[in-house]
Structure 1
Amino acid sequence: MTPSTPPWHRHWPRGLPHALAVPQTTLWDNLATSAARYPARPAIVYYDSVLTYAAYRAQADALAGHLQRAGVAKGDRVLLMSQNCPQFAIAFFAVQRCGAVVVPVNAMCTAGEVDHYLEDSGARLAIAAQELLPAMQPALARGVLREVVVICYADALTAPTELNVPEVVRAPRLALQQPGCVAWADATAGARSTPVAIGPNDLAALPYTSGTTGRPKGCMHTHASLTASSVGASLWRNLHAESVVLGVAPMFHLLGMQNAMLMPVWHGATVVMLARWDAAAAAALIERYRVSVWASPPAMLIDFFAHPEAQRRDLSSLAMLNGGGAAMPEAVSGMLKERFGITYIEGYGLTETASFLHCNPLQASKRQCLGIPTFGVHSLIVDPETLAVLPPGETGELVSRGAQVMQGYWRDEAANRAAFMEVDGERYFRTGDLASMDADGYFFMRDRLKRMINVSGYKVWPAEVESMLYEHPAIHEACIVSRPDAKQGESVCAVVVLRPGQTLDEPGLIAWCRERMAVYKAPRAVEFRAALPKSNTGKVAWREIREAFARA
């Protein structure tokens, strides 16, 4: 089967092209266009407070003016760290208005992790929520950061609500004592921005993803690659300007960024947003605002549909549930179809591919399946050692090419050489995932070549956590493995060997880890052993350890 006649075309959605003409606009163009078309339409509903498209654009323009006066120029990197809120989205587009590059950071990251992102990206200005300032303070004190624009979530609460608003969202604005901190209200009170010449091939975002070396790497995404993903995803799923999207997946993660920010802005659609996952609030909002679209990892949907509020609320407006990161359990898929008449559409993507890469056709989906390559995407299964293309049914490494694939890793040519390969003169990205393709052209996950652990859609790389564990004075050897988890998909487990004469217990080590790394990376279980199994070459036999945990 040649690339010109892939088997998945036999199951292609009717009326859709095989390839997509990617719009030659910038992300700022997309917001400006939607604001011109629908100025009074709610762009974001946040705990019943409404931000219109006109206000969205105006606030982003005002913040961009401040960033420019603070020295942000075209190509500069700006770190962005907060939980879901209107300010996150406004800040994202303000950076685009400057022609600069957003470095989105997980809100659970520690000061040490933030330091790496700052050092590697070269960002010298950050926009961060006030409760996350402790992660910024060391860099401010050292002069690595010139300035932090500080978000107060409560500034976005402009209307009363009976919803359960988290305390961190209701918290009043803090007095900013540390030099270099500027309140969001002050940063958006000045003159608007000066237009900057930017194009679709300019860099727009630098989301970080970890690697087998344990060192997170920046994925270079342009306006074009992010737009290709967003426009392709919305066309595939039949979304439009009248869609109402539930935005609960974190927007610092590509799933939330694409589905709850970039895609709705492209259409001028409405996002109903929560700062944190709250099943009861989500059920109330779906009913109140007639939410029609929801992108979510399976763990969140499992929690939602088990909640009493989901049983009593009117959820009839929901027309599309989609996501990825882990396979949706068969029992839950069956329940959604039987009780609510909804087919959960599973897809596949990575940070390196701006989330959207494969997806199941709406009318011909297969369960526990990565779907088929979407618009203009071509995927192959190759032998991970010889790189020879394998036939259907064989398991190997999934490699892909498409307009949404990143340009490469930021300033890491060694990683780029390892991550890309050529087939028939075309450049393919090596996903590191082991998969197989059936005769119909549908792809199925089999294993992870790179040991990656998937915790509710967040990537955890064992090498990174192991490196941190070796900093503990009592630990002699450490191995991080995954264990199946009904709620999160997988959980992180540590197997450690103590130094002679040292003592340490499970709660103590877990607490130590949570002080030094994001909560989702910290082990949830610890096993102490006298020694770790090794291969003939002396390498830790992590697969053997993982299989033992899976059987436990």
Structure 2
Amino acid sequence: MRGHYSDIWQAVARAFPDRPAVVTPEEVLTYDRLVTEAGALAGHLRTQGVEPGDSVAIFSYNRPEYVVALFACFACGFAPVPMNFRYRPAELRPLLEDAEVRTLIHPRSLRDVVHEAVDGLRLPLVEIDDTGDGPVPTADLPDTTPWDKATSGEAPLPATPPAGGELRLFTGGTTGRPRAVVWDAADILDVQMYSIYGTAGLPMPATLDEAVAVAADPATPATVSLPLAPLMHGTALFTSMNTLALGGSILMLPSPRLDSEAAARFAVDAGATRIVVAGDAIALPLVEAVESLGLVPFGRVASIISSGMRLSPQVKRRVHDVGDIAITDLLASTEGGPYAVNVTRSADDLPGELRLLPGAVVLDEERNDVAHLEGGRGILGFRGTLPKGYFHDEQKTREAFPLIRGVRHVVPGDWAVARGDGTVELLGRGSAVVNTGGEKVYPAEVEQALLDHPLIVDAVVFGMPDARYGEVVTAVVATPDGEPVDDGELRAHLDARLAGYKRPRNVVFRSTLDRSPHGKVDLARLKAAVAPQIDPSIAPTGTMRVTK
């Protein structure tokens, strides 16, 4: 069924206005209220000059307002642009400019970051009061409208969106500066049909009426999703959108930081059936909380979905041990896919197999698909429904979405070996990207931030293995005398330039990096040399260990 999420959401709201759409520990947003607030917000955005095709940035952690903003944008043909709320001003501003953002929605707690980032842009803002400080005099913030005011009017949503609606979803910066991937709004629903209906064994609707009938059918399992990964990540975003298509409920803990014990209790109390995580970084503290609180079996949780980083067999085993939980471990990218999935339903299934999904291929050096060959080695690709490309970047679009024998593909750079039975062994990505807690960090950016310090003359950045986060960002840095820069001074220097997850958790100082005559660093040797100096007992989040 080709169509729009907003059409299904509005139809579900008409059929079941009092069903809970978004639930937090403090409030319940019914489908009727969701539609009402989305219409009011859309009306406000139009008064600010936002038109179909314009970008609307959402710079926020998971909150009910996030869903309202998505709904308003999709229904009116505005392009929602989820932004990483961990970005600092210097990181946020160029992305706002790249995406040609016309207005920005943010919580008050991020006001300082936003105001510095938009300085001189004269960008209308909508501010969510997440601090409880009450209204702010409009004279003090002339370009800012409080959320309550922006959603206080009455404006019906269009019956169906105008043609050409898009989602502009930024990558994590795997190959440098993040780029906005442009998805046609109607294509997203087409891509997600199997995830919405097929994975649950439900009939695939061909019409809007049939979609509502599936949501209304008492035999349709109630879907209550708790996205613990941020909605700026595609898996959390699409899973939440799919939940509303089924007439289900999205649970949210409105906090920029994971409180694993609060999440475990809320999942049980609110009847979560599905939880979205980002690898061990979220799954491990969650299952530890479940165990320590004695919440076994883990409520009604029947499914955990992960994408974006490694979910280890050890953590999966602990998840299976706390309930009858199926774990879906996806390999996907912002540019397309998913490419492969590892599904385990009990500890007996571990470690499981990474099985290619329809549309996925393994391309050898001649770009032949060798997925059917045992031992076939190549780069994973996908040739199903794909995004339009990168926003206003035709060259990078051609590179990332090559036409192979007349068929458009996306090839993100993951190498794999095919087993000949539809499964593959993942070898890793050819680039030097560091994947830490589901966030992708490009070493060159961190190296440049380090080199901006007047006492640092050389630097190399790479990932080192970590049991919880998959990898942690590590830097080996040279100063003229090999002495470390003061810890607090270096932290302040990097904090002004990098989001917290990009900052090295380990910094080792030397007098030289022993580069070759060609300027190369032997990374394998360097990693082996610094490994004994890295203390694995240090919690990566919020810490930085400087050693010599």
Name the TM-score, length of structure 2 as normaliser.
0.85
Q: Does 1:249 align with 2:223?
A: no
Determine which of 129, 137, 153 is the counterpart of 1:152. 129
| Shift in Å, 1:314 | 4.9
Aligned equivalents of 1:76 and 1:115: distance in 2?
Answer: 17
C-alpha spacing 1:447/1:139, structure 2 compared with 1 (3 Å) = closer
Contact 2:21 2:247 in 1 (8 A): yes
C-alpha spacing 1:182/1:315, structure 2 compared with 1 (3 Å) = same
Contact 1:202 1:223 in 2 (8 A): yes
C-alpha spacing 1:31/1:243, structure 2 compared with 1 (3 Å) = same
- The DSSP-based 3-state class of the residue aligned with 2:268 is helix
Aligned equivalent of 1:182? 145
Q: Tell which deviates more after alignment, 327-336 or 31-40.
A: 327-336
Alignment of 1:346-357 (within 5 A): 346-353=329-336, 356-357=338-339
Aligned equivalent of 1:272? 251
- The DSSP-based 3-state class of the residue aligned with 1:301 is helix
Q: Does 1:49 align with 2:27?
A: yes
Aligned equivalent of 1:66? 44
Q: Does 1:495 align with 2:472?
A: no
Q: Which amino acid aligns with 2:425?
A: F
Aligned equivalents of 1:91 and 1:194: distance in 2?
Answer: 12
Aligned equivalents of 1:271 and 1:67: distance in 2?
Answer: 25
Aligned equivalent of 2:460? 479
Q: Which structure exhibits the higher relative contact order, with contacts defined as CA atoms closer than 8 Å and separated by 6 or more residues?
A: 1
Alignment identity in percent? 27
Q: Does 1:424 align with 2:405?
A: yes
- The DSSP-based 3-state class of the residue aligned with 1:117 is helix
Alignment of 1:69-468 (within 5 A): 69-142=47-120, 144-153=121-130, 168=131, 172-175=134-137, 177-192=140-155, 195=158, 198=161, 202-212=165-175, 214-238=176-200, 242-259=222-239, 261-276=240-255, 277-297=258-278, 298-307=280-289, 308-312=291-295, 314-353=297-336, 356-361=338-343, 367=350, 371-374=354-357, 376-383=358-365, 387=367, 389-390=369-370, 391-403=373-385, 405-468=386-449
| Shift in Å, 1:94 | 1.2
Q: Which amino acid aligns with 1:344?
A: I
- The DSSP-based 3-state class of the residue aligned with 1:265 is helix
- The DSSP-based 3-state class of the residue aligned with 2:21 is strand
Aligned equivalents of 2:483 and 2:343: distance in 1?
Answer: 56
Aligned equivalents of 1:498 and 1:266: distance in 2?
Answer: 56
| Shift in Å, 1:32 | 1.0
| Shift in Å, 1:72 | 0.3
Aligned equivalent of 2:205? none
C-alpha spacing 1:196/1:523, structure 2 compared with 1 (3 Å) = farther
Q: Which amino acid aligns with 1:305?
A: V
How many residue pairs get matched? 507
- The DSSP-based 3-state class of the residue aligned with 2:513 is coil
- 1:427-458 Cα distance to aligned partner (Å, 9 max, x none): 21111122222232123322221222111111
Aligned equivalents of 2:526 and 2:429: distance in 1?
Answer: 15
| Shift in Å, 1:193 | 5.2
C-alpha spacing 1:69/1:479, structure 2 compared with 1 (3 Å) = same
- 1:309-331 Cα distance to aligned partner (Å, 9 max, x none): 54246524111112133332222
Q: Tell which deviates more after alignment, 223-232 or 445-454.
A: 223-232
Aligned equivalents of 1:525 and 1:333: distance in 2?
Answer: 28
Aligned equivalents of 2:483 and 2:342: distance in 1?
Answer: 52
Aligned equivalents of 1:196 and 1:208: distance in 2?
Answer: 31
| Shift in Å, 1:408 | 1.1
Q: Which amino acid aligns with 1:102?
A: P
Q: Tell which deviates more after alignment, 116-125 or 191-200.
A: 191-200
Aligned equivalent of 2:15? 37
| Shift in Å, 1:517 | 1.4
Q: Which amino acid aligns with 1:245?
A: S
- 1:178-223 Cα distance to aligned partner (Å, 9 max, x none): 22011011111123157397467532233243143x2221111121
Contact 1:140 1:146 in 2 (8 A): yes
Gap regions ≥5 residues in structure 1: 1-22, 154-167
| Shift in Å, 1:548 | 4.9
Contact 1:336 1:343 in 2 (8 A): no
Contact 2:377 2:417 in 1 (8 A): yes
Name the TM-score, length of structure 1 as normaliser.
0.84
Aligned equivalents of 2:122 and 2:524: distance in 1?
Answer: 41
Contact 2:324 2:345 in 1 (8 A): no
C-alpha spacing 1:140/1:331, structure 2 compared with 1 (3 Å) = closer
| Shift in Å, 1:481 | 0.3
Contact 2:379 2:416 in 1 (8 A): yes
Q: Which amino acid aligns with 1:210?
A: G
- The DSSP-based 3-state class of the residue aligned with 2:458 is strand
Aligned equivalents of 1:502 and 1:331: distance in 2?
Answer: 39
C-alpha spacing 1:98/1:201, structure 2 compared with 1 (3 Å) = closer
Contact 1:25 1:224 in 2 (8 A): yes
C-alpha spacing 1:414/1:46, structure 2 compared with 1 (3 Å) = same
Q: Which amino acid aligns with 1:219?
A: V
Q: Which amino acid aligns with 2:116?
A: P
**RMSD of the alignment, in Å?**
2.7
Contact 2:40 2:153 in 1 (8 A): yes
- 1:125-181 Cα distance to aligned partner (Å, 9 max, x none): 111111111122135431x1431000123xxxxxxxxxxxxxx5x554555522201
C-alpha spacing 1:361/1:335, structure 2 compared with 1 (3 Å) = closer
Gap regions ≥5 residues in structure 2: 202-219, 535-548
